[in-house]
């Protein structure tokens, strides 16, 4: 009765089952995986946010497949502040980055075509590809004190069916930005192979550390065009889920760049795809110019929190059996743990003994055991107590 693309395993994993069981038994659990900014104790300008959604224009329906012009002009101003020139005509509004991926997979891929995704990274890509009848292949990020893209691995995994290379900048959960040298090489490969680039920058505004990297340094504007004339068709993804920490407001966007002729055709095709759904609601489009005025106020709180928690994580774990992998941005921290048991067994035992919930590395496609992932968003008191219990757990069980 149902399609094969939705034939998933619906049973909960052992870690999730254990968490639910302990919660049912009244245990107070310190959740170090919380990434919902609206539940993390930040101060939002509630009155102004609600007021921005009450424009009289909201009563009228004026559908535009690209999205409200004023909203797109506001997004252009956001990029201008980052020294990036974007025209409203290059922008398509979406309800989320997930919808943006789905639109792009429909635009670029026939059934069975392939996209290259980073590993480790956020596990959503496989689901989005699967429901759009697209195959995923991986390229690796390597760690040697900082994260680097294995560019040769990208070359090795390109086939005749490869339609796009996905860059996540900064990557989640590694927090690593794409260096200038990596970008030049990857864009050159994509141009030569007629492959598109999908660049996800949803965490771009949240840099908490600057690392000296041998691979050509970083460009603080992000999305730096290649210095040569090699301009593959490129799709830049972002939205207010992270930029304004308002995931419930459901507004994202795609910026289309690259060869002029390809860019025009991509925009024309995306317009029809977007017009089929017209998923972005009018109130949030009308509210965007006002909402982006609060970007600095909201982001400063989050940056202060993630920097503070990242520093705290390093201090607590200093000189312990655990080490912290260097990240540069985003909302996650990676802890390297003793490889005595599997990551999932470690997380379950930690939950049982110390009531602390973390994610094992394999949730983010780490291929080897020895890693757990924590969110840097929880309030300081919760985060500090959880990490102290984690350190105590390691000292008592893995000496």
Q: Report the CATH number of the 46-293 domain.
A: 3.40.640.10
Task: Name the average pLDDT for the chain.
Answer: 93
Threshold 0.85, pTM exceeds: yes
- The count of C-alpha atoms lying within 13 angstroms of the C-alpha of 61, restricted to the half-sphere facing its C-beta, is 4
The pLDDT value recorded for residue 398 is 87
Residue 9's pLDDT band, with cuts at 50, 70 and 90, is confident
Q: What is the pLDDT of residues 141-162, one digit of tens each?
A: 999 999 999 999 999 999 999 9
pLDDT at 1 over 80: yes
In this prediction, residues 178-202 reach a mean pLDDT of 95
Percent of the chain with pLDDT over 90: 89
Residue-wise pLDDT for 43-74, tens only, equals: 999 999 999 999 999 999 999 999 999 999 99
pLDDT above 80 for 261: yes
With a cut of 80, say whether residue 213 has pLDDT above it. no
Q: Which residues of 42-58 are buried (b: 16+ CB within 10 A; e: fewer)?
A: bebeeeebeebeeeeee
Which part of the chain is CATH 3.40.640.10? 46-293
Distance CA 243, CA 101 (A): 18
pLDDT tens per residue across span 73-100: 999 999 999 899 999 999 999 999 999 9
Q: What pLDDT is attached to residue 321?
A: 94
In the chain, where does the domain assigned CATH 3.90.1150.10 lie?
A: 7-43+296-397
Residue 224 is predicted with a pLDDT of: 55
Confidence of residue 311 (pLDDT cuts 50, 70, 90): very high
Q: Where residue 217 falls among pLDDT bands split at 50, 70, 90?
A: very low
pLDDT for position 231: 85
Of 27-41, 53-67, 216-230, 319-333, least confident by mean pLDDT is 216-230
For residue range 98-144, list pLDDT tens digits in order: 999 999 999 999 999 999 999 999 889 999 999 999 999 999 999 99
Q: What are the angstrom distances between the C-alpha of 368 and each of 159, 331, 338, 346, 356?
A: 26, 22, 12, 14, 22
Q: What is the CATH number of domain 7-43+296-397?
A: 3.90.1150.10
**CA 186, CA 197: separation in Å to the nearest integer?**
9
């Amino acid at each position: 009765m149902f399609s094969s693309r939705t034939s998933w395993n619906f049973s909960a994993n052992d870690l999730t089952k254990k968490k639910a069981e302990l919660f049912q038994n009244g245990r107070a659990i310190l959740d170090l995986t919380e990434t919902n900014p609206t539940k993390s104790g930040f101060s939002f300008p509630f009155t102004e946010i609600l007021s921005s959604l009450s424009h009289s224009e909201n009563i009228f329906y004026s559908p535009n497949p690209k999205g409200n012009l004023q909203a797109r002009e506001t997004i252009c101003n956001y990029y201008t502040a980052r020294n990036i020139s974007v025209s409203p005509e290059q922008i398509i509004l979406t309800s989320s980055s997930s919808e943006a991926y789905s639109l792009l997979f429909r635009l670029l891929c026939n059934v069975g075509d392939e996209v290259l995704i980073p590993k480790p990274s956020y596990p959503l890509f496989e689901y989005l590809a699967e429901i759009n009848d697209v195959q995923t292949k991986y390229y690796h990020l390597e760690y040697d004190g900082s994260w680097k893209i294995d560019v040769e691995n990208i070359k090795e995994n390109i086939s005749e069916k490869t339609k796009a290379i996905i860059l996540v900048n900064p990557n989640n959960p590694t927090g690593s930005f794409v260096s200038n040298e990596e970008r030049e090489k990857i864009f050159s490969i994509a141009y030569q192979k007629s492959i598109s680039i999908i660049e996800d920058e949803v965490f771009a505004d949240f840099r908490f550390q600057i690392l000296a990297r041998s691979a050509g340094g970083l460009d603080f504007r992000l999305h730096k065009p290649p210095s040569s004339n090699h301009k593959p068709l490129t799709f830049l993804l972002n939205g207010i889920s992270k930029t304004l920490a308002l995931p419930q407001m459901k507004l994202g966007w795609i910026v289309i760049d690259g060869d002029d002729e390809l860019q025009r055709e991509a925009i024309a095709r995306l317009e029809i795809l977007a017009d089929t759904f017209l998923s972005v609601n009018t109130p949030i489009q009308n509210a965007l110019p006002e909402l982006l005025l609060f970007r600095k106020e909201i982001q400063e709180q989050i940056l202060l929190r993630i920097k503070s928690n990242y520093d705290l994580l390093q201090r607590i774990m200093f000189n312990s059996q655990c080490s912290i992998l260097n990240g540069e941005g985003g909302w996650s921290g990676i802890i390297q743990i003793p490889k005595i048991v599997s990551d999932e067994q470690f997380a379950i035992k930690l939950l049982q003994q110390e009531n602390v919930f973390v994610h094992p590395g394999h949730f983010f496609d780490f291929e080897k055991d020895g890693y757990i992932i924590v969110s840097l968003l929880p309030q300081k008191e919760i985060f500090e107590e959880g990490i102290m219990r984690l350190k105590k757990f390691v000292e008592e069980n893995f000496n």
